[in-house]
């Protein structure tokens, strides 16, 4: 993704990661990325340079936690989980997203905001 799309993705990436962990439970970074790609029908592609800084930021904010484990292919992997604070943040982020999406939809339909 290039140009302005990076800013849009960066602004919504927290919501996508939090929702993925809420839906699937603990996941490693690769699993999170693949799930977002799957749900988006491959319209969103996350690379390590995008996802891992976001995971670190979310962990530093206390919205997710991580621990080392073993992946399906028997490799060591860091698994991320949603915290209680992350569940609350997910609700706030989802509400905010719905509000913004509604405004954008009205603008696209030509209505006054």
Residuewise pLDDT in 10s, the chain (113 residues): 444 455 555 568 999 999 999 999 999 999 999 999 999 999 888 888 889 999 999 999 999 999 999 988 899 999 999 999 999 999 999 999 999 899 999 999 986 65
Contact between 86 and 26 under an 8 Å Cβ cutoff? The reply is no
Tokens of 90: 């997910």
Look at residue 85 in the predicted model and tell me its pLDDT: 98
Cα–Cα distance measured from residue 110 to residue 104, given in angstroms and rounded to the nearest whole number: 10
Cα–Cα distance measured from residue 78 to residue 76, given in angstroms and rounded to the nearest whole number: 7
The answer as to whether 113 is a domain residue is: no
Please count the structural domains in the chain. 1
- pTM listed for this prediction: 0.85
The conformation of residue 79, written as its DSSP 8-state character, comes to: E
Q: What is the CATH number of the domain that holds 29?
A: 1.10.10.10
Contact between 17 and 58 under an 8 Å Cβ cutoff? The reply is yes
Q: Is 76 helix (H, G, I), strand (E, B) or coil?
A: strand
Instruction: Find the domain containing 74 and state its range.
Output: 4-108
């Amino acid at each position: 993704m290039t140009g302005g799309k990076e800013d849009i993705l960066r602004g919504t990436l927290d919501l996508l990661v939090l929702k993925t962990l809420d839906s699937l439970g603990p996941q490693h970074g690769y699993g999170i990325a693949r799930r977002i790609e799957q749900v988006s029908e491959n319209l969103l592609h996350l690379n390590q340079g995008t996802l891992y800084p976001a995971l670190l930021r979310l962990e530093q904010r206390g919205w997710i936690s991580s621990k080392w484990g073993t992946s399906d292919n028997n490799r060591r992997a860091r698994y991320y989980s949603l915290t209680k604070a992350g569940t609350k943040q997910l609700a706030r982020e989802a509400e905010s997203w719905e509000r913004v999406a509604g405004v954008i939809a009205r603008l696209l339909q030509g209505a006054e905001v």
